Amino acid sequence: MRTMGTMPSGLSDSHIEVQALAREFAAAEIAPHAADWNARKHVPVDLLRRMGEIGLLAPTIPEQYGGPGLDATSLCLVVEEVARADAGTAVAIAVQAGLVASPLLRAGTDAQREQWLPRLATGEVLGCYALTEPDAGSDTAALRTRAVPDGDGWRITGAKQWISNGALAGVFVIFARTGGEGAGGISAFITRAGDGLAVGREIPKLGLHTSSTVELAFDDMPVAAGCMLGPEGEGLKLALATLDGGRITVAAQACGIAQAAIDLAVSYASARNAFGGPIARFQGVQFPIADVAAELEAARLLTLHAAALRDAGKPHGAAGAKAKLVASAVAVKAADVAVQTLGGYGYSGEYDAERLYRDAKITEIYEGTSQIQRLVIARDLFGDAAR
């Protein structure tokens, strides 16, 4: 049983059409294979390219660069529907559109956009966003990867960690220190792989087994002239602005996981008979599911509100933080409710509940932990008094 949830008001006909396309594609092409792909830790690259062909891999890339030219709201709708079928597959969309195409559109030169955006739109190349380091996660200003001038170009040395799509990427958005310590010394680059790049092991993860996550090591990797993304020293500003939008996408992913958990719990409780009838007739079963269904609607509305602010060109950092904070908590809670509803079956690999349980947790961690979201919200409320 796949429940639909309440359709938020304010969605345009275009939004509803792209949501329907994503829902149909995910139900037909992803959901039937998700359990097998996760069990084998298989990243469905061919499927990602098919998504590119129909405009679902990077929906926000403008038409002039070969993309559908859709808005942030559409991106959220696509990510939620794909995450509902498989959260790991949704990561590729969030990275391609939110972490690679977005900073390229924000800060790229015409030449950089023309070189990469058409290929990102179709899935000809996949991209990755290399910001996090072993000693610089939430404290992004502490990153140590360094870029030094080399003729007209640069050479990059350092290490990155937890890089989604890193093993598959044909283009890399890399943040490196070109100046002194602190935020002002960081610049961004967009480049293909070069000599001196080593792609490390796949990092074993609790969930998201259909997503590639690796370490990257740069040993004097050459970067050609014209690959700096935005002005020198403005890299951290670009990184944080990118994450402001990325948090909205993660919130949408969390909503998809929560919706899948509710779907499963409702279906199982309606079919499972005990004590003379379906367990769905017991309030002890009904009420936890009802609670998370209500909380999911709130999370979805927060997510779409933040996306609408982004689409309108208005400040959306705090709104995105609120959406991610609430939606990630709902995803974790809904997955827990699904496991509890299914009982022993919820703990086994025979049903999707345990996968949803494992996948949900990351939404409270990446692109800013829940603690960081609270910090963003608090600073919006208190201003300088919170610093």
pLDDT tens, N- to C-terminus, the chain (387 residues): 555 555 566 799 999 999 999 999 999 999 999 999 999 999 999 999 999 999 999 999 999 999 999 999 999 999 999 999 999 999 999 999 999 999 999 999 999 999 999 999 999 999 999 999 988 777 888 899 999 999 999 999 999 999 999 999 999 999 999 988 878 899 999 999 889 999 998 999 999 999 999 999 999 999 999 999 999 999 999 999 999 999 999 999 999 999 999 999 999 999 999 999 999 999 999 999 999 999 999 999 999 999 999 999 999 999 999 999 999 999 999 999 999 999 999 999 999 999 999 999 999 999 889 999 999 999 999 998 877
Q: How far apart are CA 215 and CA 199, in angstroms?
A: 6
Q: What is the largest CA-CA distance in the chain?
A: 79
Q: How far apart are CA 330 and CA 259, in angstroms?
A: 10
Q: With left for phi above 0 and alpha for psi between -120 and 50, is residue 66 left, alpha or beta? A: left
- pTM, to two decimals: 0.94
Question: Hey, is 152 helix, strand or coil?
Answer: coil
| Cα atoms in the Cβ-side hemisphere of radius 13 Å centred on 301 | 12
The fold of the 13-126 domain, in CATH, is: Butyryl-Coa Dehydrogenase, subunit A; domain 1 (1.10.540)
Residues 6+ apart with CB under 8 A from 327: 250, 251, 252, 254, 255, 258, 299, 300, 302, 303, 363
Listing DSSP states for 250-299 in one string gives HHHHHHHHHHHHHHHHHHHHHH-EETTEEGGGSHHHHHHHHHHHHHHHHH
| Stretch(es) of the chain classified as CATH 1.10.540.10 | 13-126
pLDDT value, residue 270: 95
Q: How far apart are CA 205 and CA 332, in angstroms?
A: 16
pLDDT value, residue 7: 55
Q: How far apart are CA 327 and CA 250, in angstroms?
A: 9
Q: Where are the alpha helices (DSSP H) in the chain?
A: 13-25, 31-40, 45-53, 72-85, 87-93, 102-107, 110-122, 235-271, 283-311, 317-342, 344-347, 353-361, 370-382
Give the torsion sign (CA, 363, 365, 369, 370): positive
Catalytic position from the list 215, 234, 354, 367: 367
| Stretch(es) of the chain classified as CATH 2.40.110.10 | 128-233
Q: How far apart are CA 106 and CA 274, in angstroms?
A: 57
Cβ–Cβ under 8 Å, residues 30 and 92: no
Listing DSSP states for 163-188 in one string gives EETTTT-SEEEEEEE-SSSSGGGEEE
Q: Which CATH architecture has domain 237-386?
A: Up-down Bundle (1.20)
pLDDT value, residue 139: 81
Residue 367 annotated in active site:
yes
Question: Hey, is 14 helix, strand or coil?
Answer: helix
To 5 degrees, how large is the angle CA 108–CA 18–CA 328? Answer: 75
The fold of the 128-233 domain, in CATH, is: Butyryl-CoA Dehydrogenase, subunit A; domain 2 (2.40.110)
| Stretch(es) of the chain classified as CATH 1.20.140.10 | 237-386
- Give burial (CB, 10 Å; 0-12/13-18/19+) of 229: buried
The tokens for 90 are 């949704």
Cβ–Cβ under 8 Å, residues 218 and 196: yes
Question: Hey, is 200 helix, strand or coil?
Answer: strand
